[in-house]
Amino acid sequence: MGMTMTQKIIAAHCGKEIVTAGEFVEMNLDIVLGNDITTPVAINEFNKMGASEVFDKNKIVIVLDHFTPNKDIKSAQQCKISREFAKEKEIKNFFDVGQMGIEHALLPEKGLVVSGDTVIGADSHTCTYGALGAFSTGVGSTDMAGGMALGTTWIKVPEAIKINVIGKKKPFVSGKDLILHLIGKIGVDGATYKSIEFTGSGIKNLSMDDRFSISNMAVEAGGKNGIFPVDDKTIKYMEERKIKDWSIFEADEDALYDEEITINLDELNPTVAFPSSPENTKDIEDIGVIKIDQVMIGSCTNGRIEDMRAAAQILKGKKVADGVRTIIIPATQEVYKQCIKEGILEIFIDAGAVISTPTCGPCLGGHMGILASGEKAVTTTNRNFVGRMGHKESEVYLASPAVAAASAVTGKIQNPNKI
């Protein structure tokens, strides 16, 4: 029996010719990632292990992005612990205010992750890097500590679901709509501890930013990881940022999948996840009048340059509705700079939106846009559980940047094709 793409990467990193689903293996790591929330916990465990040095100063990445610039004394202390550790251990890839960005947008942009890599991160959305053909998955801070010290981790080889993507996107349909559609179809536990492997003729019609958004939310279906095949778009993206070599792995024709699902982009419409679960999805055509109080465009899911451009296309020459706070957060400094060059930030400001420095901020109810009781928000983030972005009686609707921008203009959840 053949292996999936994920299984091949794992096999190559544990010195075995073949691995099988359900097998436990010790896997060598190319990147170990932490942020300002999870790294201090990992540092404590690192010290409790009796470790004195990290396994490779070039393969540890620490990004201060969740509560930075520091929102309060506690977050300042968290960042201080991370800074001091990074300095003491001479960690090369440490990103603080001024250089940082939202971690899962920053690492690919910097060329730190490439196809064929194995990546663990103490953040659940580490699965983002599957867009590049890497095996990447979120872990707890204790596993991060072990990874920093040893350069390896134990992992159970995942089973797999095959997603066959065909067709071509309609106007204002993006990768966010595809992944919301998929989660609505299989549920938040439909891929529990499985690799979601995307393939098919429609892949060529998905941009890299589409793929990052899709892989990012694989975990919202319970997936261990989400992964895309390496094609010309992937190679071009990596070549433009090349700081290390990559390897390309392809699934065997006789690889075993638990399930195969086809998604036809020709039939896909803008999709919105209603409170309070990413699986509670509705086609934009089936949504009635739902008035909103806030729009947030950004996050590790949708804060890249294509997301900013999609929002600007809607907002250009328009004003956000009275009473709708519109917060836009470019995911990295490079995205921010590109927005300046293209005049996108001016479009946002003229429309009545505010722009933040790169930060996770409101996505996890941290800062820069917390919701009060009874308020409703359309957001391009990845989770809408009860209390995710503020008060437990607030409501969060997940959508693409195009839907979010259109909703900001009309003051209600809006089909961007009808504005």
Rounded Cα distance between 78 and 41, Å, is: 9
CB 174 within 8 A of CB 401: yes
Same domain? 234 vs 346 = no
* Domain final residue pick, 263, 295, 328: 263
Cβ partners under 8 Å of residue 73, min gap 6: none
DSSP string, 271-310: EEEPTT-TT-EEEGGG----B-SEEEE-HHHH-SHHHHHH
Per-residue pLDDT, 100 = 87
Task: Give me the percent of the chain exceeding a pLDDT of 70.
Answer: 100
- Which whole number is the average pLDDT over 327-346? 98
- Which of 263, 281, 313 is the endpoint of a domain? 263
Contact 175, 206 (CB under 8 A): yes
Does residue 104 contact residue 300 with C-beta atoms inside 8 Å?
yes
- How many domains does the chain contain in total? 2
Query: Which single residue is written with the structure tokens 């983002």?
Result: 128
CB 369, CB 362: distance < 8 Å: yes
pLDDT at 281: 98
- pLDDT tens, 52-71? 999 999 999 999 999 999 99
Give the tens place of pLDDT for each residue, 294-333. Answer: 999 999 999 999 999 999 999 999 999 999 999 999 999 9
Neighbours of 287 (CB within 10 A): 18
Which range of residues forms the domain containing residue 407?
A: 271-418
Whether 131 and 228 have beta carbons less than 8 Å apart is answered as: yes
Contact 178, 277 (CB under 8 A): no
122 and 164 together in one domain: yes
- Residues 257, 387: one domain? no
Write out pLDDT tens, residues 200-215.
999 999 999 999 999 9
Q: Is the pLDDT of residue 291 over 90?
A: yes
pLDDT tier at 161, thresholds 50, 70, 90? very high
Same domain, 256 and 281: no
Residues 282 and 200 grouped into a single domain = no
Phi, psi of 277 (to 5 degrees): -160, 140
Task: Please indicate, yes or no, whether residues 282 and 349 belong to a single structural domain of this protein.
Answer: yes
Q: How many Cβ atoms are within 10 Å of 319's Cβ, its own excluded?
A: 14
Positive or negative, the CA dihedral 123, 228, 381, 157 is negative
pLDDT digits (tens, 9 = 90+) for 75-119: 999 999 999 999 999 999 999 999 989 999 999 999 999 999 999
Residues 18 and 120 occupy one common structural domain:
yes
**75, 213: one domain:** yes
- Average pLDDT along the chain: 97
222-255 in b/e burial notation, b at 16+ Cβ within 10 A?
bbbbbbbbbeebbbebbeeeeeeebeebebeeeb
233 and 318, same domain (yes or no): no
Residues 336, 249 share a domain = no
Token pair, residue 303, equals 């804060």
Indicate which CATH number applies to the domain containing 322.
3.30.499.10
The DSSP annotation for 361-382 comes to GGGGT-SSSPBPTT-EEEESSS
- How far is 225 from 235, CA to CA, in rounded Å? 20
Tell me how far CA of residue 75 lies from CA of 104, 372, 391, in angstroms: 20, 22, 20
- Where would I find the beta strands (DSSP E) of 52-200? 60-63, 93-95, 118-121, 135-138, 152-156, 159-166, 194-199
For residue 192, pLDDT over 90 is answered with yes
Among 223, 241, 263, the domain boundary falls at: 263
Nearest-angstrom CA–CA distance, 272 and 172: 13
Residues 287 and 207 reside in one and the same domain: no
At 1, the pLDDT band (50, 70, 90 cuts) reads confident
Query: Please, what sign has the CA dihedral across residues 49, 52, 243, 38?
Result: positive
Task: State the pTM of this model.
Answer: 0.97
pLDDT of 297: 98
Cβ atoms of 241 and 145 closer than 8 Å:
no
Both 277 and 407 in a single domain?
yes
